[in-house]
């Protein structure tokens, strides 16, 4: 029994001695609970809505005020024409729009029902269905206030779904799954590449090699880059022929955007490898510290605008968020480089930062 407790004491000593492991063990559960608790929600709030008020009367303004007063919508655009409406949807500035006809107030004054139109970005069909339901409920409540107990004269609603009229869920998940799979292959595999050399005792071979650290880093990323390209082609073919998800934009542009994302993920994986002491720590950082936030905070499953401000800020640090946005813009909306240049620039900036930090970390560990 004494020997048993001696082994237990020894194991506790090993755990407490490794400060990095202790930090991961104690901090990671807290972070995960907070992320899961605040990110996993089906409630959608602060949805950007545009208003095309062709009536401009107190009745129409009262409806808009009722919509803006609640927690579900935020009026971010006052639209003056249908051309402007289309432009806002392409840029992603609004998720839904309310079109109020010119005779809205006149129909109400005559005591008869009127009609409004809802135009929704359905590139994310789940979100589109929910926000449509929210807005229809608000309009219905406003109509009952105007016509209490007189349903035949209530406001009728015409809905129009952009980019995905059939509301196919694959249109949402396929770009996200591409980003997730590429992140798994690139980051997870490369995160153990350098630290594995250290654990296996083969780092000395790299030390004596007449190559600069950046050359060694690139050499380690090339095989994973080739594997990722192959997987990318397979996933694209599956999305087109198995899930019937079209690439409405330029295939070449989507391929180049994917290459940028692959390169960024590889650089991130190499950076994790340079700062990790063991393969175990590298795997934990890649899986629990990166993969779960990618699934929850990138917009793959849950709308980012409904999350707390802190989690929204964290989502800006995830490469997958920007790739998923580019994927949906190119594949589902069929738009060009002018609508993805910001996401592409951010990904390239991340790649440069991760690569620079990797080279610096690699040099430090060679001394």
265: three-class secondary structure by DSSP: helix
Q: Where is pLDDT greater, at 362 or 328?
A: 328
Strand 96-100 with 115-121, pairing = antiparallel
In DSSP terms, which residues pair with 99 in a beta bridge?
Answer: 52, 117
Could you tell me if residue 260 is inside a domain? yes
Label residue 317 exposed, middle or buried (CB < 10 Å: 0-12, 13-18, 19+).
exposed
Same domain? For 207 and 275 the reply is yes
Same domain? For 174 and 287 the reply is yes
Domain range enclosing 207: 169-366
Predicted confidence at residue 367, as pLDDT, reads: 47
Could you tell me if residue 297 is inside a domain? yes
**CA 134 to CA 119: how far, in whole Å?**
13
Predicted confidence at residue 365, as pLDDT, reads: 46
Choice among 37-41, 129-133, 173-177, 181-185 with the minimum mean pLDDT: 37-41
> Which residue, of 115, 130, 162, is where some domain finishes?
162
- 3-class SS letters over 194-218: HHHHHHHCCHHHHHHCCCCHHHHHH
334: three-class secondary structure by DSSP: coil
What tokens does 363 get? Answer: 């040099």
**CA 300 to CA 166: how far, in whole Å?**
19
Predicted confidence at residue 31, as pLDDT, reads: 64
Predicted confidence at residue 49, as pLDDT, reads: 92
pLDDT in tens, 243-278: 888 888 899 999 999 999 999 998 898 888 887 777
Q: What percent of the chain has pLDDT over 70?
A: 77
Mean pLDDT, residues 58-78 taken together: 88
Q: Could you give phi then psi for residue 133, rounded to 5 degrees?
A: -65, -40
DSSP assignment of 11-26: HHHHHHH-HHHHHHHH
Count Cβ atoms below 10 Å from residue 346 Cβ, excluding itself.
18
Predicted confidence at residue 277, as pLDDT, reads: 75
* Strand order through the sheet with 73-79: 73-79, 47-53, 96-100, 115-121, 156-162
CATH code at position 85 = 3.40.1710.10
Q: Are 45 and 305 in contact (CB under 8 A)?
A: yes
Same domain? For 215 and 355 the reply is yes
Predicted confidence at residue 153, as pLDDT, reads: 57
Burial 154-180 (b: 16+ CB within 10 A, else e): bbebeeebbbbeebbeebbbbbbbbbb
113: three-class secondary structure by DSSP: coil
Label residue 259 exposed, middle or buried (CB < 10 Å: 0-12, 13-18, 19+).
middle
Same domain? For 219 and 341 the reply is yes
Mean pLDDT, residues 234-250 taken together: 86
Q: For residue 218, is pLDDT > 50?
A: yes
Could you tell me if residue 11 is inside a domain? no
Which of 13-17, 34-38, 115-119, 209-213 reaches the highest mean pLDDT?
115-119
Q: Across the chain, what does the average pLDDT equal? A: 80
Same domain? For 261 and 141 the reply is no
Same domain? For 203 and 352 the reply is yes
Mean pLDDT, residues 302-328 taken together: 87
Give the total number of structural domains in the chain.
2
Residue 180: which pLDDT band, with cuts at 50, 70 and 90? Answer: confident
Q: Where is pLDDT greater, at 45 or 289?
A: 45
Count Cβ atoms below 10 Å from residue 235 Cβ, excluding itself.
17
Per-residue DSSP letter, 191: T
Q: For residue 197, is pLDDT > 70?
A: no
Q: Where is pLDDT greater, at 3 or 106?
A: 106
Same domain? For 153 and 74 the reply is yes
Could you tell me if residue 343 is inside a domain? yes
Per-residue DSSP letter, 1: -
pTM assigned to the model = 0.80
Which of 83-92, 114-123, 338-347 reaches the highest mean pLDDT?
338-347
Please calculate the CA angle 291-345-222 and round it to the nearest 5 degrees: 60
Same domain? For 154 and 233 the reply is no
Same domain? For 88 and 233 the reply is no
Predicted confidence at residue 326, as pLDDT, reads: 93
Q: What percent of the chain has pLDDT over 90?
A: 18
Could you tell me if residue 35 is inside a domain? no
In total, the chain counts a number of residues equal to: 367
Same domain? For 114 and 213 the reply is no
Same domain? For 100 and 116 the reply is yes
Closest CA to 96 of 76, 112, 113: 76
Same domain? For 100 and 65 the reply is yes
């Amino acid at each position: 029994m004494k020997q048993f407790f001696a082994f237990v004491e020894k194991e506790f000593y090993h755990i407490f001695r490794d400060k990095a492991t202790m930090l991961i063990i104690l901090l990671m559960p807290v972070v995960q609970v907070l992320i899961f608790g605040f990110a996993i929600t089906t409630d959608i709030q602060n949805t950007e809505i545009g208003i095309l008020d062709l009536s401009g009367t107190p009745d129409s303004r009262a409806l808009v005020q009722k919509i803006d007063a609640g927690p579900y919508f935020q009026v971010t655009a006052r639209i003056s024409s249908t051309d402007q409406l289309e432009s806002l949807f392409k840029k992603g500035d609004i998720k839904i729009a309310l079109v109020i006809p010119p005779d809205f107030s006149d129909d109400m004054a005559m005591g008869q029902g009127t009609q409004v139109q809802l135009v929704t970005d359905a590139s994310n069909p789940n979100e589109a269905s929910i926000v449509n339901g929210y807005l229809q409920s608000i309009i219905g409540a406003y109509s009952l206030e105007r016509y209490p107990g007189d349903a035949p004269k209530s406001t009728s609603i015409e809905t129009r779904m952009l980019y995905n009229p059939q509301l196919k869920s694959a249109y949402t998940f396929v770009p996200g799954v591409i980003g997730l799979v590429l992140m798994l292959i690139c980051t997870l595999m490369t995160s153990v590449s350098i630290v594995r050399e250290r654990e296996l005792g083969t780092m000395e071979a790299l030390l004596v090699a007449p190559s600069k650290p950046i050359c060694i880093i690139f050499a380690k990323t090339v095989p994973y880059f080739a594997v990722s390209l192959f997987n990318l082609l397979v996933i694209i073919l599956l999305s087109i022929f198995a899930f019937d998800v079209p690439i409405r934009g330029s295939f070449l542009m989507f391929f180049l955007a994917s290459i940028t994302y692959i390169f960024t993920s590889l650089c991130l994986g190499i950076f994790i490898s340079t700062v990790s002491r063991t393969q175990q720590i590298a795997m934990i950082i890649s899986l629990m510290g990166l993969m779960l936030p990618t699934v929850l905070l990138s917009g793959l499953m849950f709308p980012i605008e409904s999350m707390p401000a802190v989690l929204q800020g964290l989502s800006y640090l995830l490469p997958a968020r920007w790739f998923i946005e580019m994927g949906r813009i190119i594949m589902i909306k069929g738009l060009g480089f002018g609508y993805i240049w910001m996401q592409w620039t951010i990904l390239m900036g991340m790649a440069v930062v991760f690569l620079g930090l990797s080279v610096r970390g690699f040099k430090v560990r060679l001394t």
